[in-house]
Amino acid sequence: MNVRHTGPERKTRALGGLVIADFSRVLAAPYATMMLGDLGAEVIKVEQPGRGDETRTWGPPWVEDEATYFLSVNRNKSSVFIDLGTPEGVESARQLIARADVVVENFKPGTMKKFGLDYESLGREDLVYCSVTGFGAGSELPGYDLLVQAVGGLMSMTGTDQPVKTGVALVDVLTGLHATIGILAALRHRDATGQGQLVELNLLSVLLSSMVNQSAGYALAGAVPRFMGNRHPSIAPYEVFPTADRPIVLAVGNDRQFERLCASLDLPVDPRFATNTLRVQHVDELYEVLSARLLTKPAEHWFSVLDVPCGPVNDLAAAFDLASSLGLSPTVDIDGLSFVSNPIRMSRTPVSYRLRPPQLRSE
């Protein structure tokens, strides 16, 4: 059973009073609806009776009998279990949508239309309806994050000599954030005009947009990037370097910082590396020169003397410790479980943590 927790009253929540009918599953769209819930909306998650969201079984890790994957994107939601394969289930879904401001769904294209629950069939002038697909409403290709990272070009850059995916389902998360932005913009328009609208996103388009400088390099100049490992295509030094005991990252973003780096390492400013453009052209030679010096001392020594942005390659435990040491409060307790905090800070309408993720009920 869900328990309400201490947080801003409804009138002080940014999205207080909004009702979200959440037909989403797995990660991209559930991340969006959790963001809306954190900002104060009432989110009602629709799940299949007996099984629920697929991510309920995506473990390890587990907390008792619950998958942390499911827990990661479903707080601040209540749940209802509806079988859309029955007339009674479709009617229950219609009743839920009738009182909702926003509908969010990420079924295979055509699924909601089959039940008469798509945007056009519902015919509500004031409804904001967000639909998330893998490759657009006209394609039935499955929208799995790994697949989109591959066909969308990301994996062609992130490896060294073999394609490598990111350590998290990054395209899903980016799509969830874009969906949140689209929904909020549509709500702003509705507030001004009384008119809702259909908001559509697909994972492939979000990835192409989110690769920013790399995508722009291709669109504007026809540049096709290849495997870069930890390097940057336009900045140097901007990668991982070895030291006497463990790797560190140097992020040197301009010529003045590079001069400070050379001074910290007691190295002359080699003419080959005098400007960022030259450093990118001679990045292999630059790596050899810097690595030779950095290998002479352990990482902690360099952290104490380097006058440029640098840091260790932390694991997650060290990353959470760092955030805590900086006073960033990276976790929040809900019903005795430690959840990752929402990163948004708002002075008047702060996020709130009212509900732990809904538990699976036997129907």
Instruction: Please identify every residue annotated as catalytic.
Output: 172
Q: How far apart are CA 218 and CA 208, in angstroms?
A: 11
Contact 231, 241 (CB under 8 A): no
Six-digit token string for 176: 């969830």
Three-state secondary structure string covering 273-340: HCCHHHHHHCHHHHHHHHHHHHCCCCHHHHHHHCCCCEEECCCHHHHHHHHHHCCCCCEEEECCEEEE
The two structure tokens encoding residue 117: 């629950």
Contacts of 70 (CB under 8 A, 6+ apart): 53, 55, 56, 58, 357
